[in-house]
Amino acid sequence: MKFIQNNEVQRLELDNLSMTGDGFNRLMTGSILFGSENPIKAGIRIYSEGSPYKLDTFYARGILDLPKLEVDYWLEKVLDVSVFDSFNASSQVSVEFKSGLLNYAKLNLASTKVAIPGVKAFKNVNAELWLKQENVDTWALWLADSSFSLDDTKWSLDDLALKLSKTELGNRWQGFIKNADIQYIYDLVTSLDVMPEAIEDIYRDLMPSGGLQNFNVIVQQSINKDEPDTKFTLAVN
């Protein structure tokens, strides 16, 4: 199948696509290919129960396998965003939808090299990332585990989270770090050559040491246009 998108001819192929089950339980499997240049090839498996028109009782889960994805190319093409010089990855996306909410979306990703303008290239990148909708107005993003190499030195980051909520007072952002060594974070930022001079001077004057456990940064933004206000709260165990 071919069609025109943004004055370009795109290709869409469905291979071995099948659906089994009854009117309530359904299982769809198959593979798709999309795009004429740097095409996206994916294997899909989706199971669902109930009617998608009744979200409170509808349930679905699925897996999308992407053995090779030109991330830099498709970000620029679809979103007109140029972030990476080079980013090719293999990935798997798992999702579950129930009770009218996205219960979770999990991304497992691996890439031999990720190049960003003005930053040293990341090599041997592996990551596990979760997205969860806790309620209609609250979303949580969690980096469960990640590892990469910079200049032949291996680094890892895990248990980092960001929660965004819409409240009566405005937007609430909450960042969370479960466990972090201050010197380790400083060495990593220094390796990336992105440390602002002012912050580096403060760090050298204070020379902090030790670690952070269950560290939270909360930002509350007011929705009152007449009296805009932003409040910051720090909490650590």
Tell me the mean pLDDT in the region 206-215.
Answer: 83
Whether the predicted pLDDT of 2 surpasses 70 = no
- Reported confidence tier of residue 6, pLDDT bands at 50, 70, 90: low
Distance CA 31, CA 47 (A): 15
Residue type, 67: P
* pLDDT higher than 80, residue 170: yes
Does 131 score more than 70 pLDDT?
Answer: yes
* Mean per-residue pLDDT, 184-202: 79
Contact in structure between 14 and 24 (CB atoms under 8 Å): no
Q: What is the pLDDT of residue 3?
A: 54
Tell me what percent of the residues of the chain surpass a pLDDT of 70: 95
User: What is the reported pLDDT for 104?
Assistant: 96
Q: Which burial class, exposed, middle or buried, applies to 89 when counting CB atoms under 10 A from its CB (0-12, 13-18, 19+)?
A: buried
What is each CA distance from 15 to 18, 30, 34, 47, in whole angstroms?
A: 9, 6, 11, 18
Computed over every residue of the chain, the mean pLDDT equals 87
Task: Give the whole-angstrom CA distance, residue 211 versus residue 179.
Answer: 7
What pLDDT is recorded for position 48? 94
pLDDT at 89 > cutoff 70: yes
**pLDDT-derived band of residue 133, with 50, 70 and 90 as boundaries?**
very high
pLDDT digits (tens, 9 = 90+) for 55-87: 889 999 999 999 999 999 988 888 888 889 999
Whether the pLDDT of residue 5 is over 70: the answer is no
If pLDDT is split at 50, 70 and 90, which confidence band does 222 have?
confident
What predicted TM-score, i.e. pTM, was given to this entire model? Answer: 0.83
Looking at residue 151, its pLDDT comes to 86
pLDDT, residue 49, reads 92
Q: In sequence order, what are the residues at sequence separation of 6 or more whose Cβ sits closer than 8 angstroms to the Cβ of residue 73?
A: 37, 38
